[in-house]
Amino acid sequence: MPKLDRGFKLTWLGHNSFWLTTRDGCSVLLDPWVESNPACPKELQSFERIDVMTITHGHADHMADAVNLGKRYRPTIVCNYEIHCYLQRKGLATTAPMNKGGSQTVQGVKFSMVHALHTSGIEEGGQIVACGGEACGFVITLEDGTTIYQAGDTAAFSDMALIAELYHPEIALLPIGDLFTMAPREAAIAARMLAPRWIVPTHYGTFPALTGRPDELRREIEKLGVKAEVVALEPGEVLQ
């Protein structure tokens, strides 16, 4: 486990959810799926504060807790315009909508919305009830310039090279589970384009169908000669 010693803590809550606390004390929840997330440790399902919440797309395994946690903690909710409209209708007044290509800074942390190749229908009880716009990823630039790319759910796509050119992500949170997202082979090609120093694999193991594993990703990036280190966290484990 590399100790980066930059003052931030990134805790994996399982699946694609992370809790990030920054050097200057901003508490950020990435993709709010905690209470019904079978991989999320019980003690990490409530928070002292959430200042910012980001949402990559409308699927329940990424935003099932957006409304209840949004009402409880009143964070600034960084999401696309369509999810903003849905959350406003649910009574949340603190949304901060944006779209791909743009950036906004909230409490000293910069959020750049980037492309993802996936769908985004918003579900309630297994039914699609609203259009969630397009799925996205985020590049998060911390107070000291550290860049974290959360790919969200996505296939590999060639414009990941553009994300690398624009934002130089040092840490990449990449899905590897297969079936609904990239598998390790696709994630290795993505890593070749993105050229991060560290890769944190996500979106695997939550359900039996999400079969990709970090060891396969290590083998695939070695085959391609990619120099990134794969940092496989356990749910609840912290990269800091």
Give the binding site for Ni ion (CB under 5 A). 59, 153
Closest by alpha carbon to 62, among 75, 82, 79, 42?
79
3-state secondary structure of 142: coil
- In whole angstroms, how close is the CB of 196 to Ni ion at the nearest point? 22
By beta-carbon proximity to Mn ion, the closer residue of 26 and 116 is: 116
- In whole angstroms, how close is the CB of 119 to Ni ion at the nearest point? 7
CA distance 212 to 234: 15
Instruction: State the binding partner of 216 from Mn ion, Ni ion, none, CB within 5 to 8 A by kind.
Output: none
Residues 36-65 binding Mn ion (CB under 5 A) are 61
* Cβ contact 176:197 at 8 Å: no
Closest by alpha carbon to 240, among 39, 21, 9, 2?
9
Instruction: State the binding partner of 115 from Mn ion, Ni ion, none, CB within 5 to 8 A by kind.
Output: none
- In whole angstroms, how close is the CB of 61 to Ni ion at the nearest point? 6
By beta-carbon proximity to Ni ion, the closer residue of 63 and 77 is: 63
By beta-carbon proximity to Ni ion, the closer residue of 156 and 228 is: 156
By beta-carbon proximity to Ni ion, the closer residue of 59 and 218 is: 59
# residues contacting Mn ion (CB under 5 A):
2
Contact window for Mn ion (CB under 5 A) among 30-38, 44-52, 80-88, 150-158: 150-158
Parallel, antiparallel, or unpaired: how do β-strands 109-115 and 103-106 relate?
Answer: antiparallel
Instruction: State the binding partner of 15 from Ni ion, Mn ion, none, CB within 5 to 8 A by kind.
Output: none
- Spatial neighbors of 6 by CB under 8 A, at least 6 apart, are 23, 142, 144, 146
153 near Mn ion, judged by CB under 5 A: yes
* Cβ contact 132:86 at 8 Å: yes
In the block, residue with structure tokens 């791909």: 100
The residue ranges that bind Mn ion (CB under 5 A) are 61, 153
